[in-house]
Amino acid sequence: MARDTDADVRQLRLTPFGDVCVGLERTLRDAALAAGREVELIIEGADVEVDRSVLTALRAPLLHLARNAVAHGIEPPAVRAEAGKPRAGRVRIGAHLRGSEVEVSVSDDGRGLDLEALAERAREHGIDPPETEVGLARLVFVAGLTTSDRVDALAGRGVGLDVVKTEVEALHGTIDVETQRGGGTTFSISSPLTRTLVRVLLVRAAEQLYALPTPHVLTLRRVDPRAVHRIEGRPVVLHEGEPLPFTPLARTLGMPTAVPDDQLIPTAIVQAGRDRVALSVDELRSVDDVVVESLGERLPRVRGFGGATILPNGEIALILHGGDVVRAALRQAEGGEVSLPEAADLSAEPPTLLVVDDSLTTLALEKTILESAGYRVLAASDAERALRLLDQARVDLVVSDVEMPRMSGLELTRALRGRTKTRGLPVVLLTALSREEDRRRGLDAGADAYLVKNAFDQTELLEVVASLLSDPLD
C-alpha cells in the first residue's frame, strides 16, 4: 500500500518537458533580434514527463545554453548564406528517456566552437590544453576560458558555462559537448527523472559504503588479476575489445587501498558521457532505490559526492557523482600511479579524531573520509556534546563546523584553548564562511587551520590533518 502511494505521488509530480520550454521561443526571438540573427527554434520530446522539481532546476541551464547558441553559435544571415546555409539558423532543444534518466540536448547548426581559441585561452591561464578535440571542447566548462569578449544579457550576463555545469551536477547530472567546425555545437545533459528516488549500485570500498547511480554503471564483472594488462605501465582491462583504465574506487576518492590478492576482483564498468573506466571495489552489494539527502546548503558541492542516503538498516551511504569519479579515474590513468596523502604512521594505535557538525549528512561524509584514511573517529552533532566527549575520551585532533546552534565552533575553540587538558589540541575549522575576516576570526579564536566547505577537497583535509598530527603544537 505504501509503495503504491509513493508511486501515485511520484506520478503526480511528473510534468511534460514542453512546459519548461514555454517562453523560450520568444526569448530566442528577442535575443536573435538584438544580435542581428535569424533563428528557428525546434522542440523535440515535448511530451516526455519528468519530475517537476527537475524541470524547474533545468530551466535556467537550458535558457543559458539556448541564449549561448544565439550569441556564440549562429552566424549572421549574410555569413550563413555565403557558406551555403539557410539564412535562418536552427536551435534544437530535445528530450528523451534513457532508463531512469532524462537526456536533454541543446544544439545549433552554427559555426561550431573555436577550439584553437580555447586552447590559447587555456595556455593564458596556465592550463595545458588537451590533445584531443573532445578534450578541447570541454574547456568551455572551465571558469574564465570563454573566447567571447562580450559581457551582456545576450551572452549570458557574464555567467560562464562552468556555472551551467555546476547547476547540472547539483541535480546529480552530467553535461557534455560535441562540436563540428562549421556544423554547429550540441550540449547534452543527463539528469535523473526524479530528485526523490535514485536507483543506485551499493558497493563497499576502503571499509565504507558508497552508492553509485546505476545510469553510470554499464556492467559488473569479477576480474581475474591475470586479465589485467598494462599499456605504458598503466593497468587496463578489456571491455568489448576496448582497453579501459583499471583503478580502485578507493584510490579515485583519495583513500588508502589494499593490495589485491589472487582472487577475482569485484569491478564496475562505469561511464560518464563518452568516457569509460573500470573501478574495482571490495564488495558489490546490491541495486536499490534510495532517497537522496542533500549534504546541506553549507556543503553544496563536494568533489566526488552528490549526496547521502540512509539505508533501512540505518547505514549511511555516500552517493558518488559519476562524472567526478570517472574524471578522477582518468586523471590518475593519465598520470600513472598516484601519490596519496598519508594519514600518519598507523602501525600503532591510530590517532583519534573528533568531528563536530550539526548536519548529520555532513558529519557522515567527514567521518567516512577520515575513517577511510585510517583514523579512529568520534562524532558530535553540537559543541556541547563535543566537550562532553572530550571529558570522556582521549582525542588527538578536532574538526569542527563554525555555525552551530547554542555554541558555535569559535566558542568551542576558545573553550578548548581555555582548558589545561585541551590547550594544545589541534583544531581544524571546516566551515561555509569564506570571507577573509571570517578566517581571521577563526584563527584568532585559536584554530590551527581554516578550511572552506564551498571549496572543500578531501585530499586537502587529509593533508592538513596529517600535517597537524605529525607536527603537534607544544
Indicate whether 450 and 302 sit together in one domain. Answer: no
Buried-exposed string 201-233: b where 16+ CB fall within 10 A, e elsewhere: bbbbbbebbbbbbbbbbbeebebeeeebeeeee
Q: Which residues are CB-contacts of 85 (< 8 A; sequence separation ≥ 6)?
A: 75, 109
The last residue of a domain, from among 192, 220, 247: 192
Task: Give the domain extent around 188.
Answer: 12-192
Helices marked H in 248-377: 249-252, 322-335, 360-372
Say how far apart CA 419 and CA 66 lie, in whole Å. 59
Residues 385 and 299 in one domain: no
262, 230 in Cβ contact below 8 A?
Answer: no
User: Has this prediction a pTM greater than 0.75?
Assistant: no
Tens digits of pLDDT across the chain (474 residues): 334 444 444 555 678 888 888 888 888 888 899 889 999 999 999 988 888 878 888 888 898 899 889 988 999 999 999 999 999 999 999 998 876 678 999 999 999 999 998 898 888 888 888 888 988 999 988 876 665 544 343 343 334 688 888 888 777 788 999 999 999 999 999 887 766 567 889 999 988 899 998 888 999 999 988 888 888 788 999 888 889 999 999 888 877 776 566 688 999 999 987 889 999 999 999 988 887 766 554 444 456 777 788 777 767 888 888 888 888 888 877 764 433 333 334 345 788 999 998 877 778 778 878 887 788 899 888 899 899 889 888 899 999 999 888 899 999 999 999 888 888 899 999 988 888 888 889 999 999 899 887 666 677 788 888 888 875 434
Whether 186 and 56 share a structural domain: yes
- Is 184 found in the same domain as 203? no
In a domain, 7, yes or no: no
Q: How many CB atoms lie within 10 A of CB 152?
A: 12
Separate counts of helices (H) and strands (E) for the chain:
14, 23
- 43 found inside a domain: yes
**Environment class of 130 (CB within 10 Å of its CB; exposed 0-12, middle 13-18, buried 19+):** middle
Closest of 370, 342, 374 to residue 357, by C-alpha:
370
- Domain total of the chain: 3
Q: What CATH number corresponds to the domain at position 447?
A: 3.40.50.2300
- The answer to whether residue 2 sits within a structural domain is no
CATH number of 330's domain: 2.40.50.180
Residue 39: which residues within 8 A CB-CB, separation 6 or more?
A: 28, 29, 31, 32, 70, 74, 88, 89, 90, 91
Residue that finishes a domain, picked among 160, 192, 224: 192
| Pair 28, 172 in one domain | yes
Among 157, 192, 227, the domain boundary falls at 192
Host H or E run for residue 174: strand 174-180
User: Same domain, yes or no, for 315 and 392?
Assistant: no
